[in-house]
Chains A and B, each alone.
Chain A
Amino acid sequence: MTKSIAGELADLELPVERGCPFAPPAEYERLREQAPISRIRLTSGGKAWWVSGHEEGRAILADPRFSSDKRKDGFPLFTLDAATLQQLRSQPPLMLGMDGAEHSAARRPVIGEFTVKRLAALRPRIQDIVDHFIDDMLAADQRPVDLVQALSLPVPSLVICELLGVPYPAHDFFQSRTTMLVRRTSLEDRRRAFAELRAYIDDLVTRKESEPGDDLFGRQIARQRQEGALDRAGLVSLAFLLLTAGHETTANMISLGVVGLLSHPEQLALVKADSGRTPMAVEELLRFFSIADGVTARVATEDVEIGGVIIKAGEGVIVSGLSANWDPAVFKDPAELDVERGARHHLAFGFGPHQCLGQNLARMELQIVFDTLFRRIPTLRLAAPVEDLPFKTDAVIYGVHELPVTW
């Protein structure tokens, strides 16, 4: 039986600003109470299905009848002007925008770079990097220190640059351009940032072709040569994806994780008392903040019935990871930050074949940062009230612009 959908379409301008920094936007709650799958009108134009339910979200993201190809008609885009669409259609898609066999062919050669074993071998180096930036923090004369600049940004930047074989001096450039890409800056600014990044990466790939080196790109190039010919466009797309994805997301989770723990001292005390709890604490923080909400959009390629709703071919679907991660049917008292919850089934890294390739690298970085930071600076505290912190209410990826801390 098909459930009736409330007749009224909710207007949603994405990304929706969060009111309370520690909770989803109020509209999310209203939409979920209405139905796990409801109908919305995007202010950018067009209608889409809005998925609030955890079970329904997982079902859709794992279902091959939903396409990730942003170029397809009906795909729910944040901006729908003709120029953006044309640009989108003229460029080779990133792995994120591919489906089925094409997606597998692009993703499979890279999976081996992110195995749990390979990442474990990186642990000592990441620990060194974290210790290095904390040394600098402790040596600084002035307090408060902005944790974003001192730790949250440089750690994942340096890690991803080393992993990929990108000279670290380029990280400032990357940081500023990726930040521009995920903020609600003007379309023109975003386009320029995109073009500059693309040009830099193009150049990088050219240099790597003559001097591959023992890093991710070097190995990809060697592998492709062994198999026949270099897929230059594919390498540029891969570099673009890994560099941008590796810069902004982990940095924001480091900052928000620190804010979350410092604002819930009883939870922080649990983590400090036993570092064995840190991995679960990281999962709970990922669930609680769900920083990449709304990036998981799809378009149905045929009629699909999910959760009693029929989604027709050509209709757009937005799975809200944040809403799913606050679904009280799956996460009891979702507004409670509970580091012992066991929240590993959250959708913060997405679900289905596109689930974040770098998820275990992110997990490891977060674990090392939280353990090391609170061990080495046990008296760390916020140097401003939480409500005064500049939360990124205007960004696709949630976070905090500055985080003054002292000890």
Chain B
Amino acid sequence: MMRIKADTGVCVGSGQYVLTEPAVFDQDDDGIVALLTDHPDDQSAAQARHAVTLCPSRALSILQKMNLRPCP
């Protein structure tokens, strides 16, 4: 499952993420990005990914899942 990270410190409030995938992204009253979930389900994943590419300030990113292996 993908994981989304939002850096509220650099967000410029473009709001494109809300228009793209309102099930994952919201804006607080000050217009800054707020995540409704940081693990979008399969239904939202593609649109969430698109929202990340649209973010003008690079405030949104997708965290790659670490390939943890069981200790020997």
A interface list, Cβ under 8 A from B:
61-62, 107-108, 111-117, 279, 344-345, 350-355, 357, 359-360, 363
Shortest Cβ distance from B18 into A: residue = A116
Residues on A with C-beta less than 8 A from B54 are 344-345
Which residues of chain B from 29 to 72 have a CB within 8 Å of any chain A CB?
Answer: 29-32, 50, 53-54, 56-58
* Nearest-Cβ distance from residue A13 to partner chain B, whole angstroms: 29
Q: Is B12 located at the chain interface by the 8 A CB criterion?
A: yes
Q: How far is the CA of A306 from the CA of B29 in the complex (A)?
A: 36
Contact with A along B7-26 (1 / 0, CB 8 A): 00010111110111000000
B interface secondary structure, majority:
loop
Interface-central residue, A107, A108, A115, A363, by most chain B CB under 10 Å? A115
Shortest Cβ distance from A61 into B: residue = B56
Q: Which of A107, A108, A115, A350 interacts with B27 by CB under 8 Å?
A: A115
Q: With A111-B13, A112-B31, A114-B31 known to touch, is A360 a contact of B19 (CB < 8 Å)?
A: yes
B interface list, Cβ under 8 A from A:
10, 12-16, 18-20, 27, 29-32, 50, 53-54, 56-58
* Nearest-Cβ distance from residue A58 to partner chain B, whole angstroms: 8
Counted as pairs of residues, one from A and one from B, with CB atoms less than 8 Å apart, the total is 60
Q: Which of A115, A352, A363 interacts with B13 by CB under 8 Å?
A: A115
* Nearest-Cβ distance from residue A34 to partner chain B, whole angstroms: 27
Q: How far is the CA of A111 from the CA of B27 in the complex (A)?
A: 10
Q: Which of B10, B13, B50 interacts with A114 by CB under 8 Å?
A: B13
Residues on A with C-beta less than 8 A from B15 are 114-116, 359-360
Interface-central residue, B12, B20, B32, B53, by most chain A CB under 10 Å? B12
Residues on A with C-beta less than 8 A from B10 are 353
Q: With A116-B19, A359-B14 known to touch, is A111 a contact of B31 (CB < 8 Å)?
A: yes
Q: Which of A62, A112, A353, A354 interacts with B29 by CB under 8 Å?
A: A112
Q: How far is the CA of A279 from the CA of B54 in the complex (A)?
A: 16
Shortest Cβ distance from A113 into B: residue = B31
* Nearest-Cβ distance from residue B14 to partner chain A, whole angstroms: 5
Is B14's CB under 8 angstroms from A355's CB?
yes
Residues on A with C-beta less than 8 A from B53 are 345
Residues on A with C-beta less than 8 A from B14 are 355, 359-360
Residues on A with C-beta less than 8 A from B30 are 108, 111-112
Nearest 3 Cβ contacts at the A-B interface: A111-B31, A111-B13, A355-B56
Q: How far is the CA of A351 from the CA of B56 in the complex (A)?
A: 5
Residues on A with C-beta less than 8 A from B31 are 111-115
Is B13's CB under 8 angstroms from A353's CB?
no
Q: How far is the CA of A107 from the CA of B14 in the complex (A)?
A: 11
Residues on B with C-beta less than 8 A from A117 are 27
